[in-house]
Structure 1
């Protein structure tokens, strides 16, 4: 450095252990990088290799851009001839304890061989120092080591490994005694200069530009006492600094450490926002980590082990999107199942709901599902061909009734959401992921490991952020690099395998605009009286997704209900009886009640109830009498084809049979014929004879009763069924739907219209 300026010589100083070797040299203009203490963080060794490979690529690109020049010598001739080319100084890579480095990372020898092979043309040179030389690890590197210096060795074999002769073993035991081999048969014995001692009094270190490297033999001076004061090294450093020169190109940037504040990054726009930094050692720079929700990768998954920063990552994502968009451009609903870390997002006007309550979570899922269904209908009705057209029309004010163009559903704690016996929220999320992007609906999900995601959902999550995993072998980016991710929150691997760190969300930025509306909550009690007169049909309750009244399908004559005690099955029958009486006169509809526990006595409209059977005998008589009535309604030979076409061969009221506590009608173990078995033959043609059968029973033991004459026939016919509170251990009751813990009156309605939907049965006062 004393002999060459920083425009001629740069250095990369690597100390595998500690960092004292190059202490004090880091601030010199010649030094491109000081890389120390790699033994404690082996991931930095890989980073160093990437940086050196990047420097090789950079130099090759400079030579190519200058006109496909053959090497650095031709490049310097072009500069000397007056071409405006940036300086391309020689780069000397100094590695201390390189044998231990190769012992930990044997594959690095390939990089050193590459430097040895290409270095002469690219201006790259190596200086490798070690206490011992293990020739078995060099694997071809030794042919590129032209100069070899051996100080006194412990054995003749070690000297022979370096110099080819045992002479270094016989050197005198004094510091600095060494032998130089310059690739010829001549060996030069010398004593190295000592730069850590005090500088001689009256001598001033002068940086001179000799422009050539020399290695001439010298006579070792006699040892003499050195006065205290500034060291030779310090004096030389001062002289180099005083002479100055352009700073060296930064081959090595400091590794990512603390998460940067979000407000230090660009704001972004159009659903494309930076959320962190990516370390690019091969390109010798740092790039923003950008999440783009506008394209095909519009769903996000964050995976990380305990205390890796998953919740903070989701908070950063929401904060970054909110910083770049108004509440009319982006709305957010949050399922906060990861410990409450996302509760602060409720301050943002973009965030409609932060749901952690067990009742609010399914309601939020239903709200987003309902939004998807409404947008699908709207796109068809208004001829909207794409979500881009939808955004443009919303921005122009044509669709001002839409509260937000894009909606993000954040799920912090996917495993907690899918662990309980709920209404299969994983299937709901998979449906949203499959169809949502076309309608401006996005998902952001956090998981503890990638295996927690079901394939149907995982394949749709195009943007994936991988933080530190509990088991690096679970990594889907790079298992080897995953093992080197620091145990600090926010650190992880970018999709291409480079290290990343997510930004700290910091203070939330509030953009002006009307707040995104919260989730409409399905009430725990829906009063029936205000709805009975306003609906055109028999009322069942409120639909959870649309919060609209649900009516019995007039094309379906039967209904099957499973519910445990105090879950609402008796209230359901009472509601249906009120609805029948509200929509039909006694001449149009009559009600027969089968009520073993007499729970409906005095609670039903007497004008329509023709029989209320509770005892076994009364129930059996009612079954036989109903069967006789229905048999007389079957078409006989006297019925004309016109009557058959018009379904007009009998007259009289429709018969509604409401059965409460069906499990008590024919108790388990009873050998008597089932009292309602005579009705089974009429169930398939119920619409032709005016029969409606509504059966309510407990979920306990339901799996054994699914094949009795009546319930089994109803399930075969595929009519609607309502599955309410009960034990999921009974298994699937209707299709794949099981009972589960649900509030009173809440149930899943399974019918031919599509997927099961959650319904709150309206409450009719006794």
Structure 2
């Protein structure tokens, strides 16, 4: 029976020009089914319904390709306002501008098996049979028998049937209503019946060329009609590169290497979208900033997430200068960072990996600071941006990895919700959108890669393909993956003669106290990130200081700096210092002028009583004088190191609580182990200090202790690195100076 199908197709090819007739061949995995007919100039589709075969050949499914052609023909008829293919073909001959719509023949080898291999083929095939006359499509179905065919509606829609010898009488009856086909002689090749609806069957003997006759006929057709007709293969079936969508590039001193057609565009192309209903493609674009500037790309391993991120970064970089656009990367999920391949891109400030959470927190801290600065200027009506940044993207590779760093999540939420209004955006990758909180998806541009073919995704009814992150060449090479993207990043860098995107400042791990000792009237602690000055404590505004940190985090170093600063600010001895040091870690300070050094519990209680008596006297005198000005007498600095050990079960220092809120020249500087400190912060002396508006420092701690103070989490930090909170001021990151 396959011989009759091949003979019929060959006859159609010989009697029609490729301009007037297109033939689509759909087969099961049998490569010999059409004996070389796929080389004929009329053939616009050679598809297999076997999934493994289609993947091997890099083709889309037969169902997708047939559905796309049906949609294209419907669109052309509607757009031309014509009723059917015949009217359209007449118009084509008269109006050359119309896209062609040749008559199409769809030939399916062993269609019962084909539908079993690819069930999705049934819907577009049935539509082709129902709308065939209007759309100019004819369907040829070939089967060895009808007894096992599970979809009789296809057979019922065949108005013309060619029936040859059948093994079973049932197949003969299903095909032509009688047993005649089962009685045909097996020894007569080509014998059969032509059966048409409403007419008597006609017996015939068909010509069947041998294989040796076949190939010369096809070669003759190719020779006589060398111009191949347009293929039905969807435009997304093969990879594309950024060069295919960005067009011409040019280099200049002002803009560096730039895609001239998209310089400064609000949206940049990163791939192609298939529009089957119109028979065309359009550019797949992503915004550069704006209300929908946050971008989420999702897909399983091997879906091309890394390519999508790098392609978007390079496309943006080819339409914006490093002054206009900056990227900062967080790749904290473990494994190699794909963004790091683009490290030479001048728009990329830096990328932090899971091994450098200090840098990761510095990046987020800088971006939060930028949002606060821009928001404040916008509210004040200032037009001048007053910063060195343009549109900023924070790229997060692998959301689940970052979500495990609990202190960063609320800060990323600030970026997601407040950033877009002031030009700061997120670019996040994950396996599934379900992994992301709603606040990340709200208003975001989403790219969902759900194909085994890397870079292919879908947006509703439209499929798209993201371009590979280089300019040309999709063939396999011996270069590592993304190496071509790194080459393009280097080319962009070479064409940019000006400074690259600024890197976040990371504080040094150790700063000598003497290096910053100055003439300030306040207590200087150490250098602050992003500022050319040291962090200070103004005791006129915040009379007390609380410091939290795990052992070895730098609590004692803080007290040493405070002691040095007290001596500097009160050289004439107009201050008294009480130093409570139960672990004797500061025993070297014992014996200093105007200092009471205490290491034993019985000493703590006795001195506390003395101090309380003095504070009561001062309180009474202050109430009696009622002058209303700041305290002008001798200062009392009460320093407690390792409060949890000194305070103990007897709560020795609760007697100081009544004086915390009084302006009587009394200052508490308390350090406490941050581990399991939550309850201690909600009661007694520490709670009263926090309620009075004391300055607070949070050093390194264990992550399990969570949020110690509002917005400040217990996380590992380098020794001496602290978040400083002062009432009425933005939090800052400070490196406590080292006073040896």
Scaled by the length of structure 2, what TM-score is found? 0.83
- Cα offset, 1:677, TM superposition: 2.0
Q: 1:254, 1:703 → 2: CA distance?
A: 60
Q: 2:436, 2:89 → 1: CA distance?
A: 57
* Residue matched to 1:762: 737
Give the alignment partner of residue 682 of structure 1, picking from 637, 659, 666: 659
- Cα offset, 1:627, TM superposition: 1.3
Task: Name the SS of the counterpart of 2:343 in structure 1.
Answer: helix
- Cα offset, 1:105, TM superposition: 4.4
* Residue matched to 1:473: none
- Superposed CA RMSD: 3.4
Stretch deviating more after TM superposition (294-303 or 283-292)? 283-292
Q: 1:565, 1:158 → 2: CA distance?
A: 87
Give the alignment partner of residue 439 of structure 1, picking from 422, 430, 433: 422
- Cα offset, 1:104, TM superposition: 4.3
Give the alignment partner of residue 14 of structure 1, picking from 26, 30, 35: 26
- Cα offset, 1:182, TM superposition: 0.9
* Residue matched to 2:67: 53
Q: 2:203, 2:689 → 1: CA distance?
A: 103
Q: Which runs of 5+ in 2 are unaligned?
A: 1-12, 248-258, 471-483
* Residue matched to 2:132: 119
* Residue matched to 2:179: 166
Give the alignment partner of residue 102 of structure 1, picking from 115, 118, 127: 115
Stretch deviating more after TM superposition (748-757 or 402-411)? 748-757
Is 1:92 matched with 2:105? yes
Is 1:195 matched with 2:209? yes
CA contact (8 A) 1:96 1:128 kept: yes
Is 1:372 matched with 2:371? yes
**Distance verdict in 2 for CA 1:321–1:249, change over 3 Å:** same
**Distance verdict in 2 for CA 1:273–1:79, change over 3 Å:** closer
Is 1:664 matched with 2:677? no
* Residue matched to 1:209: none
* Residue matched to 1:512: 496
Task: Name the SS of the counterpart of 1:112 in structure 2.
Answer: helix
Is 1:599 matched with 2:585? yes
CA offset digits 1:355-398 (Å, max 9, x no partner): 333332222222233333333344456622xxxxx7xxxxxxxx
Give the alignment partner of residue 742 of structure 1, picking from 707, 717, 720: 717
Task: Name the SS of the counterpart of 2:197 in structure 1.
Answer: coil
Task: Name the SS of the counterpart of 2:369 in structure 1.
Answer: helix
* Residue matched to 1:178: 192
- Cα offset, 1:717, TM superposition: 4.7
CA contact (8 A) 2:76 2:278 kept: no
Q: 1:615, 1:623 → 2: CA distance?
A: 12
Q: 1:527, 1:134 → 2: CA distance?
A: 92
**Distance verdict in 2 for CA 1:85–1:411, change over 3 Å:** closer
Q: Which runs of 5+ in 1 are unaligned?
A: 199-230, 385-389, 391-398, 468-481
Aligned residues: 686
* Residue matched to 2:613: 628
CA contact (8 A) 1:60 1:122 kept: yes
Is 1:334 matched with 2:303? no
* Residue matched to 1:396: none
1:286-435 pair list within 5 angstroms: 286-337=281-332, 338-356=335-353, 357-380=356-379, 383-384=382-383, 402-420=387-405, 424-435=407-418
**Distance verdict in 2 for CA 1:450–1:41, change over 3 Å:** farther
Q: 2:643, 2:172 → 1: CA distance?
A: 97
Is 1:69 matched with 2:82? yes
**Distance verdict in 2 for CA 1:184–1:702, change over 3 Å:** same
CA contact (8 A) 2:49 2:62 kept: no
**Distance verdict in 2 for CA 1:306–1:88, change over 3 Å:** closer
Q: 2:633, 2:352 → 1: CA distance?
A: 52
CA contact (8 A) 2:289 2:424 kept: no
Q: 1:100, 1:45 → 2: CA distance?
A: 19
**Distance verdict in 2 for CA 1:87–1:323, change over 3 Å:** closer
Q: 2:455, 2:376 → 1: CA distance?
A: 41
Q: 1:353, 1:264 → 2: CA distance?
A: 27
Is 1:464 matched with 2:456? no
CA contact (8 A) 1:54 1:284 kept: yes
Give the alignment partner of residue 500 of structure 1, picking from 452, 458, 465: 465
Q: 2:700, 2:190 → 1: CA distance?
A: 86
CA offset digits 1:65-95 (Å, max 9, x no partner): 44x3332333455567889866542111112
CA offset digits 1:399-438 (Å, max 9, x no partner): 7x754422333233433334346xx222222222222223
**Distance verdict in 2 for CA 1:293–1:545, change over 3 Å:** same
Stretch deviating more after TM superposition (658-667 or 296-305)? 296-305
CA contact (8 A) 1:262 1:275 kept: no
* Residue matched to 1:395: none
Q: 2:236, 2:196 → 1: CA distance?
A: 37
CA contact (8 A) 1:15 1:37 kept: yes
CA contact (8 A) 2:66 2:125 kept: no
Stretch deviating more after TM superposition (82-91 or 186-195)? 82-91
CA contact (8 A) 2:268 2:319 kept: yes
CA contact (8 A) 2:296 2:427 kept: yes
CA contact (8 A) 2:548 2:555 kept: yes
CA contact (8 A) 1:7 1:246 kept: no
Q: 1:287, 1:559 → 2: CA distance?
A: 61
Give the alignment partner of residue 138 of structure 1, picking from 151, 156, 161: 151
- Cα offset, 1:584, TM superposition: 4.7
Task: Name the SS of the counterpart of 2:15 in structure 1.
Answer: coil
